[in-house]
Structure 1
Amino acid sequence: MTEEQSDRARSPEQRQQQIADVVLERGSLSAQELASMFGVSVMTVHRDLDELERQGVVRKFRGGVTAQPSGVFESNVAFRRKAMREQKKAIAKHAVQYVEPGMSILLDDGTTTAEMIPHFAGLTPLRVATFYLEAMRQLSELRGVGLMALGGDYDPLHDAFLGTTCLECIESIRVDAAFVSTSALSGRYAFHQEDRIVAVKRKMLEVAEKRYLLMDHSKLGKVALHRLVPLSEFDLVIVDSGASGADLAELERNDVRFEVAP
């Protein structure tokens, strides 16, 4: 079987998964590029992209498709895990200094906050609550870390449990510290694209004694559809060293307490 025949032999579901993998890896591609890559017509590619957009994996624009976020679209968790990885690690390593043995911690579904987990092994005993499934997997393997899984309806776009049940679970606990990430920060406010995520993150802040916001520099100076909370709600905002002087100056102008992770 030739390579072209092999491409055509794929089921639509297999091809769509492979298209998703390529777009998540590269960020953005044109429909023509995908058609050539997979040996199918542009029309077929558009049908595949329509299905992937319906699933929330990508978003279409004129002539192509992207996994990049926008003001109303949050990237699929698979893309977010790959983006700004080194910066997220630096931020998480800095944030861990605010965790002490014996504390109770609440983590959101952020890929930045999840980078804190490898550091927890040296800070036990800890009690960690989260609704992010990948974080649950990692935490379950750490000795001395008590895992509290916060339930709800599973959402594959975020790899997390969300909805009313999740809100009720969070409301029923009190923690020493909450570590949160979000999609955008501008002026005096943090923002996010989805109201259901906003509701969960706000509830996290209500039940925490200390509140930390972890943001890589690609999210600074950006806005999204929903205003999350004023930055004054956080005890500290932690950014990476890629943040521009202008972005840091704006945080200072707005009296935001922040630290730059080296």
Structure 2
Amino acid sequence: MKASPRPLADQRRDLIRALMDERGAVRTADLAAELGVSLVTVRRDLLALEVAGEAVVVHGGARTANGRVPPADRGQRSGVEVDAKALIAATAIRRVHEGDAVFLDSGTTCAAMIPLLARFERLLVVTTDLHTATALAAIAPHLEIVVAAGRVDATTASVHGELVAMVLASFVFDTAFISATAWQRGYGATSGTLTYAGSKRTAISRARHKVLLVDSTKYGIAEPHVVLSLDRFDAVVTDDLVPVEARRELREAGISLVIADRESPVDS
């Protein structure tokens, strides 16, 4: 049987556009493997898309140029930037210690910490995410797991509203791991929903240390409701597709940026 022909330039670029629309960001090595072409060819395609205003080329790949906010639906988000979220989680878990009280925010980025938290013998984990609570309880029933009370959002499989703040006020956390729909230097971490932003701020106010976990596809975007300015987090952990120039600007602004990459998920 003959191998399928390699896609021509226009076909390749259509596929790359579709993948960027789906994922928000793409990696050069992954595209080369998926398309069956060389790294040089992929870089040439990405540069052509950047010239056309359809992509922003960064170290190791490219991201969308349209400021796309990730989908709200939990099912759709669960397949987006899976590798990046795993690397972010592997870096973030270094801030957790045996016996800690931890707040784990809703969302798929924070949920990537579930298998890593299960390795501890003693932890208190408080969350607003129904999936996180049930998944962690299934693999680590020895841990103390608390789900904050509130209105259930079936789209995100999480709880929100005024009751959440009342529950969170009953705790003091060693570390709060916070997610955000969008983040940028000027407006900080933001959310598309007022009550979600409020719940995040309450958790932050009850924590000794606060860490933002966000992937690069959400960078440069702003949603209507501010959670916290980036310089007030003890660390902002993200993946290596954040542009080098943006990293420099963030650090010059006094933001503790931690980059998790494929080779070594530590600060770079």
Scaled by the length of structure 1, the TM-score of the pair is 0.71
Which structure 2 segments of 5+ residues have no match? 1-20, 24-65, 262-268
Asked if residue 87 in structure 1 is aligned to residue 75 in structure 2, the reply is no
Asked if residue 232 in structure 1 is aligned to residue 231 in structure 2, the reply is yes
Shift of 1:261: 0.8
Whichever structure has more helix as a proportion of its residues is 1
Rounded Cα–Cα distance in structure 2 between residues aligned with 1:202 and 1:149: 17
Asked if residue 146 in structure 1 is aligned to residue 155 in structure 2, the reply is no
Distance 1:27 1:242, change over 3 A: closer
Shift of 1:70: 5.4
Rounded Cα–Cα distance in structure 1 between residues aligned with 2:110 and 2:170: 22
Rounded Cα–Cα distance in structure 2 between residues aligned with 1:204 and 1:162: 12
2:226 aligned counterpart, secondary structure: strand
Letter in 2 for 1:207: R
Rounded Cα–Cα distance in structure 1 between residues aligned with 2:253 and 2:222: 16
Asked if residue 158 in structure 1 is aligned to residue 136 in structure 2, the reply is no
Rounded Cα–Cα distance in structure 1 between residues aligned with 2:68 and 2:229: 21
Shift of 1:253: 2.4
Letter in 2 for 1:146: E
Aligned to 1:223: 222
Aligned to 2:247: 248
Letter in 2 for 1:82: G
Aligned to 2:12: none
Rounded Cα–Cα distance in structure 2 between residues aligned with 1:205 and 1:168: 14
Instruction: Write the deviation string for residues 182-223 of structure 1: whole angstroms up to 9, x where unpaired.
Output: 011112411111111111111110011110001111111111
Letter in 2 for 1:261: A
C-alpha contact 1:212 1:236 (8 A) present in aligned 2: yes
Shift of 1:74: 5.3
Matches within 5 A, 1:163-178: 163-178=161-176
Letter in 2 for 1:177: T
Rounded Cα–Cα distance in structure 2 between residues aligned with 1:69 and 1:139: 33
C-alpha contact 1:128 1:146 (8 A) present in aligned 2: yes
Scaled by the length of structure 2, the TM-score of the pair is 0.69
Aligned to 1:20: none
| Matched positions, count | 197
C-alpha contact 2:67 2:221 (8 A) present in aligned 1: no
Asked if residue 77 in structure 1 is aligned to residue 64 in structure 2, the reply is no
Shift of 1:121: 2.3
2:126 aligned counterpart, secondary structure: strand
C-alpha contact 2:104 2:177 (8 A) present in aligned 1: yes
Aligned to 1:47: none
C-alpha contact 1:191 1:223 (8 A) present in aligned 2: yes
Which structure 1 segments of 5+ residues have no match? 1-25, 29-67
C-alpha contact 1:180 1:201 (8 A) present in aligned 2: yes
Aligned to 1:22: none
Shift of 1:27: 4.6
Letter in 1 for 2:83: E
Instruction: Write the deviation string for residues 123-167 of structure 1: whole angstroms up to 9, x where unpaired.
Output: 221110011000011121204311111111111122111111111
Aligned to 1:105: 102
Aligned identity (percent) is 25
Rounded Cα–Cα distance in structure 2 between residues aligned with 1:260 and 1:159: 28
1:140 aligned counterpart, secondary structure: helix
Moved more, 247-256 or 82-91: 247-256
2:236 aligned counterpart, secondary structure: strand
1:190 aligned counterpart, secondary structure: strand
- Structure number with the bigger relative contact order (C-alpha 8 A, sep ≥ 6) is 2
C-alpha contact 2:236 2:256 (8 A) present in aligned 1: yes
Aligned to 2:118: 121
Shift of 1:236: 0.5
Instruction: Write the deviation string for residues 60-83 of structure 1: whole angstroms up to 9, x where unpaired.
Output: xxxxxxxx9956x85211111111
